[in-house]
Amino acid sequence: MAGLWFEELTEGRVIDAEWSRTVTEADNVLFCSMTMNVQKLHLDAEFAATTEFGRPLVNSLYTLGLMIGMSVHNLTMGTTIANLGMTDTAFPAPVFAGDTIRVSSTVLAARASKSRPECGIVTFRHQAFNQHGTLVATCDRQALMRRRPA
């Protein structure tokens, strides 16, 4: 499914990502390496074993990127112009290698752009859940969206 046009993004609409994704240790290590994040809590199993978590945590910025990325295919693919900002980002529970993530997005608000009549501004609430249904990440994202062509 292609992305949704501004006119289809009505307040209260819920759009679930079409798939889930199991996070691997390699995902976490590669992301930490690419972003130069050397936090032992993400990369050192021996150190992480001494923490309250008992094992490495997946980098929360990877979780954020995965959550938003999983929403693209059936929400904003080809219909978004730009991200305008993200607020109220939270990680209420940890993600570990082996967790399977699913994502749901809710339209919180939608309004016509005052400066660009061919666009609208939409606020999405993205939520990521693990295989147990536990909320692991949430973020409100504002995006500049295309209106349906005439």
Distance CA 129, CA 53 (A): 18
Q: Are 137 and 90 in contact (CB under 8 A)?
A: yes
Under the banding of pLDDT at 50, 70 and 90, the label for residue 90 is: very high
| 2 has a pLDDT exceeding 90 | no
Distance CA 130, CA 127 (A): 10
Distance CA 72, CA 44 (A): 32
The continuous run of DSSP H or E covering 66 comes out as helix 60-75
3-41 confidence digits (pLDDT tens): 999 999 999 999 999 999 999 999 999 999 999 999 999
Domains and CATH numbers, the chain: 6-146 (3.10.129.10)
Whether the pTM exceeds 0.75: the reply is yes
The continuous run of DSSP H or E covering 86 comes out as strand 80-90
Distance CA 1, CA 50 (A): 45
